[in-house]
Structure 1
Amino acid sequence: MAFARRPGITGPIRVEDRAGDGTVSAVIVLDLDMPLRDDQRVLLLLDEKRPPAGRPAYGYQFRAPFPLGPRPDPKRVRIAVKGVRPAVYLARVQADGVQSALTFSNEGAFEGPVVDLGAPR
């Protein structure tokens, strides 16, 4: 019997090395509730949290390097993103086909975890 564990994103999602004006390039740093092996295939899934009325939400997926290679913390993964339209995004990580869960507000709307790739401060 195969066993698949659902990864969970813990703590705030960090954005490093941000660049770009019209679109955003950056490195997204995710801390997970489980260690990742070097041979796991990892994706970052981004879905715009609150798109304006009249247009669909932006959505992106980015692959982590494969193999993941040496990392000081096996529960941390760094994934480069490129060409992302500035906005706040719901973030999920997928490890070997198993996606992390989103949280919900009291009203039942998706709430987090989020990464802010909106206008620089």
Structure 2
Amino acid sequence: VITKAQHCRAEIYLDGIGWVATDPADVRKVMLEEEKDGLPAEDPRVAAVRQKLFGSWEGNWIAFNDGSDIALPSAQGPELGFLMYPQAEVASIRLDCLDADAFRYAMTAREITI
């Protein structure tokens, strides 16, 4: 079960430059996981990662979607601004997709030949 392994990456448009890669998830990961009690955004280690990942990202990834304002079929909950994590509803109540202990799922991959 990989309920804690999601990753988010983004692109922003800068006038005069165009689309620029950013990796906010890895910056946040450093803030949350580098030290037991976390690191503030102004910590030099966070600043170094932010500088390195502004304009680049790690290349081993698969995009599952790029939608916005997503209405899930037959869902009772509101539209989603974006879809980063799997979503589920039980008895018309949307589960907390960030609660890895209460909402468990698995993503698997396998090679296919055509």
Shorter-chain TM-score: what band?
Answer: under 0.3
Q: Normalising to structure 2: TM-score of the pair? A: 0.23
Q: Normalising to structure 1: TM-score of the pair? A: 0.22
Q: Which has the higher helix share?
A: 2
Greater relative contact order structure (CA < 8 Å, 6+ sep): 1
The structure that has the greater radius of gyration is 2
Q: Which has the higher strand share?
A: 1
